[in-house]
Amino acid sequence: MQDLNSLKTELIDAVGAADGSEALETLRVEALGKKGRITALMKGLGGMEPEERKAAGQALNALKTEIADAIDARKQALGASELEARLLEERIDVTLPTRPETQGRIHPISQTIDEVVAILGEMGLSVAEGPDIEDDWHNFTALNIPPDHPARQEHDTFYLPGEHDGERMVLRTHTSPVQIRTMQNGEPPFRVIAPGRTYRCDYDATHSPMFHQVEGLVVDEGTHMGHLKGCLIEFCRAFFGVDDLPVRFRPSYFPFTEPSAEVDIGCTREGGQFRIGHGDDWLEILGCGMVNPKVLENCGIDSSKYQGFAFGMGIERLAMLKYGISDLRTFYESDLRWLRHYGFSALDAPSVVGGLNR
Ligand code: PHE
C-alpha cells in the first residue's frame, strides 16, 4: 500500500505540473489508459488471495477516482486560461476602416450596356461580338454603302495604313458590321444584340472619337415592321422606366435598311427642366428599319424567304439621358469623384424582374 501512496503523490504532482491540455492527456493515458500504470495494477488483482484482493481493489479504485478527478479539475483550469490567452492574442480592432475593394463602382457605360442586354435578353436576343478593326467590306460595302456613297463621308472614318486581303482596314464606325458577321457565320433565324466600341473622327461635348453602340438584329421567315415597333417601344419604356412613354417612329434613311426610321421618345423642357415622358417635345434616341434585301443577299440569305429588322443606338447618349450626365467627355476622364457619384454597386446586377438600377 505504501507503493500506492507514493504513486498517488507522484501522479497528483504531475497533474498539477501539466502546463497544457495535451500534456494532461498524455498523463491520463499513462495512468488510466488501457496500458496505464493504474490499469496494470488492476490487472494484477486477479492473482491475489481474496482478502488481499478486496483491500487492494478498494484502494486502487479510490486512487483511480482520485486521479481521474484531479485530471478533470486541472483540465478545466487549463481550458479557462488557454481560452483567455487566445482571446488576448486574437483581438480584433473594430475601429479599423472597411476593406477598400468594396468601394469599387460599375461605370455608367457598363451599367447601361448591362441594362440594355437585360431587357433585350428577356425578349430572346443573345449577345454577339465582332472585331473593332474591320475591313471596308464588312463596315460599308456589305451594308449596301458602295465606295462612292455619300454616307461614307458622314461617318468620319479612321482608316488604318495598308490593306488586308485587298481590303482597306478601318476602325468600325458602327456596330452594324456585326450584323454581317452574324448572318455570314450562321443559319437563320437570327436574334442577336451586339454591344461594343465604335470610332468616328469627331470630338466635342456630345461626340467622342471612341464611343459605344448596341446593335440589334432579328431575322426570321415572318418578321415584319410590327415586330420592330413592338420590340423597340417595349425597350424604350422598360429602359427609361416610364410605362406609358410616348414613342414615335419617324421616316428616315439608312442604306442597310428599307424602310428606315428614327425613333423619338416624348420629353418636356418646361420651366427650364428636362424630363423624359409626356410633354410637348421629342428626342431622337435610335435608328432602325427592315433589313434591306440587298444586305441579306450579300450574306447569302434568301431574301424571298427571310425578312428581318435591325436597330442601332448610342450607349453614351442613353446613359446621359437616363442618368442626367451633361458632358460626354466626363465618361472617359477616370475622375474618382465622378465615378463614385455616377457609378453603380457591383452587387446589383440589372435584371428586368429584379430592377434595372437600384
Ligand atoms: N448603324 C446606324 C448608325 O450608326 C444605326 C442603325 C443600325 C440604323 C441598324 C438602322 C439599323 O447610325
292: helix, strand or coil: coil
Residue at 95 is within a domain: no
On whether both 74 and 171 belong to a single domain, the answer is: no
Tell me what pLDDT residue 102 has.
Answer: 63
Nearest CA, atom 5, ligand 1: 312
Residue at 134 is within a domain: yes
211: helix, strand or coil: strand
Computed on alpha carbons and rounded to an integer, the radius of gyration of the chain in Å comes to 40
Residue at 252 is within a domain: yes
Interaxial angle between packed helices 225-240 and 108-122, expressed in degrees from 0 to 180 and rounded to the nearest 10? 130
159: helix, strand or coil: strand
Residue at 94 is within a domain: no
Residue 212 Cβ inside 6 Å of ligand 1? The answer reads no
State the DSSP code for 331.
G
On whether both 191 and 310 belong to a single domain, the answer is: yes
Residue at 102 is within a domain: no
On whether both 312 and 215 belong to a single domain, the answer is: yes
On whether both 37 and 114 belong to a single domain, the answer is: no
What gap in Å lies between CA 98 and CA 333, rounded to an integer? 27
On whether both 240 and 153 belong to a single domain, the answer is: yes
Residue 249 Cβ inside 6 Å of ligand 1? The answer reads no
Nearest CA, atom 10, ligand 1: 288
CATH of the domain at 235: 3.30.930.10
Residue 289 Cβ inside 6 Å of ligand 1? The answer reads yes
Residue at 179 is within a domain: yes
Whole-model pTM over 0.85: no
Tell me what pLDDT residue 100 has.
Answer: 66
Q: For residue 189, is the peptide bond before it cis, meaning its omega torsion is within 30 degrees of 0?
A: yes
On whether both 84 and 129 belong to a single domain, the answer is: no
Residue 232 Cβ inside 6 Å of ligand 1? The answer reads no
Residue 309 Cβ inside 6 Å of ligand 1? The answer reads no
Print pLDDT tens along the chain (358 aa): 458 888 888 888 988 888 888 888 888 888 888 888 888 888 888 888 888 888 888 888 988 899 889 889 888 988 888 889 888 888 888 888 877 666 789 999 999 999 999 999 999 999 999 999 999 999 999 999 988 887 777 778 999 998 888 888 999 999 999 999 999 999 999 999 999 999 998 888 788 999 999 999 999 999 999 999 999 999 999 999 999 999 999 999 999 999 999 999 999 888 878 889 888 889 999 999 999 999 999 999 999 999 999 999 999 999 999 998 988 899 999 999 999 999 998 888 888 888 887 6
What gap in Å lies between CA 158 and CA 152, rounded to an integer? 11
On whether both 119 and 173 belong to a single domain, the answer is: yes
Residue 254 Cβ inside 6 Å of ligand 1? The answer reads yes
351: helix, strand or coil: strand
Distance 344 CA to ligand 1 centre (A): 28
Domain count, the chain: 2
On whether both 194 and 269 belong to a single domain, the answer is: yes
71-90 burial by CB neighbour count: b if 16+ within 10 A, else e? beebbeebeeeeeeeeeeee
8: helix, strand or coil: helix
246 neighbors 266 (Cβ within 8 angstroms): yes
Distance 323 CA to ligand 1 centre (A): 23
Residue at 198 is within a domain: yes
On whether both 83 and 117 belong to a single domain, the answer is: no
Residue at 217 is within a domain: yes
On whether both 163 and 203 belong to a single domain, the answer is: yes
On whether both 85 and 113 belong to a single domain, the answer is: no
What gap in Å lies between CA 238 and CA 322, rounded to an integer? 12
Tell me what pLDDT residue 20 has.
Answer: 84
Which residues span the domain enclosing 203? Answer: 108-342
Q: For residue 195, is the peptide bond before it cis, meaning its omega torsion is within 30 degrees of 0?
A: no
On whether both 180 and 329 belong to a single domain, the answer is: yes
Residue 174 Cβ inside 6 Å of ligand 1? The answer reads yes
